[in-house]
Structure 1
Amino acid sequence: MAGGHAGSGSGGVLALLNDTRYRGIIAQIALIIALVALGWWLVHNTIENLRSANIASGFDFLDRRSGFEISQLPIIFSSESSYGRALLIGILNTLIVSAAGVVLATILGFLVGIGRLSTNYIIRGLSTVYVETFRNIPPLLVIMFWYFGVLAVLPRPAGAIALPFGSFLSNRGLQTPTALFQTGAWATGVALLAGIGAAVLLAWYARKRQLATGQRMKVLWPSVGLIVGLPVVVFILTGLPVEFEYPTATRFNLQGGFQIKPEFLALFLALSVYTGSFIAEIVRAGILSVSHGQTEAASAVGLRRGQILRHVVVPQAFRVIIPPLTSQYLNLTKNSSLGLAVGYPDLVAVGSTVLNQTGQSVEVVAIWMVVYLTISLTVSTFMNWFNRRVKLVER
């Protein structure tokens, strides 16, 4: 009887092992245990090494005086400010150049991607040359090209190139007028937000009405009136509460206005042009994924080429475009760390300075990881939401 029980027990174990579902669960449990053990070993080993090197761990260093200056300042900062504020400057600079790069790269990518499919030989050829050139050059070289090959050879501030609207371009960057808002300017900002909200509600109502009745309601010009016209009217009624400080050329320099430094320009243009070449191919692939039957049907009902592209092709192409487009946005954000090569004070550059002064390598690297992970998850969440909003709903 005992032998029979033992045999049935071993047979039950073999049956569980032969079941792919239970075998997968056992493998996952074993993997989790191994990862936890590896993580514990790494943390323990790191703590022991820091202790043996007499390096204090923790984030108390963030409150200490930084003692260095930063060239690109979105908020107030001085050498008397803390390391924590310095890292905040780096995070803001990373977000600024990444957001600006995403906007320009998206515009370039969509224009060039559509241009690659143009029936005009010149447009198609120029678009192809742009894509094939910048896709095959490392982004660091593109940054160096803009910084040393373009911006560095511009004239000095004394001989700066005069641009429209009182702006100047020199080897020290772009000097533009800056707006000085007066009392009452807040009303224009409130009107702008109200106009955007009203335009969103109008678009929602128009879509709901179209789904219910099939009648298409024009929302473009009413939305323009709400977003642009309403703030302009409020701006005029409040007495034009803004003054502009224009840059002026002196004998050796440019004074006044707002300066966009060459480090930012080089990184911004390089990331935009480089990422735009990849987005162009994504857009081209998305458009080609739409069957010719769709375009032929749209043409048969009298739609022009631009209308077909805007109302038929692009909405269907989005389901192919958005997933890889998200990856390109994340790549652009991470590539912003290459600005260290030209002295742009992003998160990595500022963090490297903090690391060298404090020796808190583990903490600084942990901050890098958390910030980039947060940015990546935020962008991915937004793009997934947008993908759900624009995807085709079959009836």
Structure 2
Amino acid sequence: MNAPPGTASPDPPRPVLSAALDGCAIVIAVDRRSLELAAALERHGAQVRHAPALTIIPHIDDESLIAATRALIARPPDVVVATTGVGFRGWMEAADEAGLLDALHAALSGAQIVARGPKARGAIQQAGLTADWVAESETSTELGEYLLAEGVAGRRVAVQHHGSGADGLDDLFERHGADVVSLTVYRWGPPPDAAAVSRSVVACAQGEVDAVLFTSAPGAAEWLAAAAREGVQDAVVDLAGRGRLLMAAVGPITAGPLRDVGIDPLVAERGRLGSLVRAVVTHFGGGHVASLPTVAGRLELRSSGIVLDGRHVPLSRTGTEIFAALFDAGGGVVSRQRLQSALPRSGENTHAVEMAVARLREALGVPDLIKTVVKRGYRLNVLDPAEASA
């Protein structure tokens, strides 16, 4: 049916690609391309929360950047170092705004161009240039070692920096006799919504989130700093260590701050947003999540309920907390007193636990999944290894 005159037609619904992320609440601590990342996750069933820990502030109108660009046009570099894709593209955009793009392209066309990783190489190619070498580890350390082995003495080296600084490349090359031209194309600014970042770290610590995605090391470091300020960093690390909270990074550099606090993150293989989405989808949809074999099928936890035999069963917050306690016991008995702590305003009334368990059984339609152990409590009806493999 056509929309009434003067009104916009509604956007067509996005195609659903899979149900792999059904029941998953995912925080994306990302500023740039966050809408694109969110849309990709939502097409697999995720509920996405935006909590960028930093913003990228471009320097397109920065006089020093334009002055350095003019200096490179006047005296072309022998070597160009691209550390980030967004930064290299920003440099080209700044040159274009100043009417210098053609001249800059000509000045760079005869230089040796090296990239810190695949995203920087992609930006180089997008600019119509060719990367002569790419650091496989995506680190400034490897890039610096490569150029020192090539020799930089007497060579003019242009270094495009990322928002958090130079990684020591300027000083390294200057100490070895290079003429360095430094280009800072963007810098990191404060989060657009600091309260949203604080809410996201608290929600993660309380088990209300299934995954957090990061695309920059400074962003990951600042999100963890927010968790520390809220007093929940230890809880986040604990949940990640128990497989209850997935921390995912677009590449090994981004993963660094997570590893520094004891988290073993999921790292995308190719350093691309698409690769990051695929890795998360495979993690949740490919049987890599912590699970238990039960009489009703494979059981996995989600922040909004459970996945039972491949089907997402949404539950209340209380129901999810009860299941989390039973799940953590791995089939062992959980006392009524322990389960009572998951109930709001239950006081000392253990009858409330019995009612909550009864409601869970009814919601699941599988009465035998939660077994009553007389005078002791409750347990999940978990299969033994022989039964599970049969």
TM-score by length of 2: 0.19
* Bigger Cα Rg: 1
Q: Return the structure number with greater strand share.
A: 2
Higher relative contact order (CA 8 A, sep 6+): 1
Q: Return the structure number with greater helix share.
A: 1
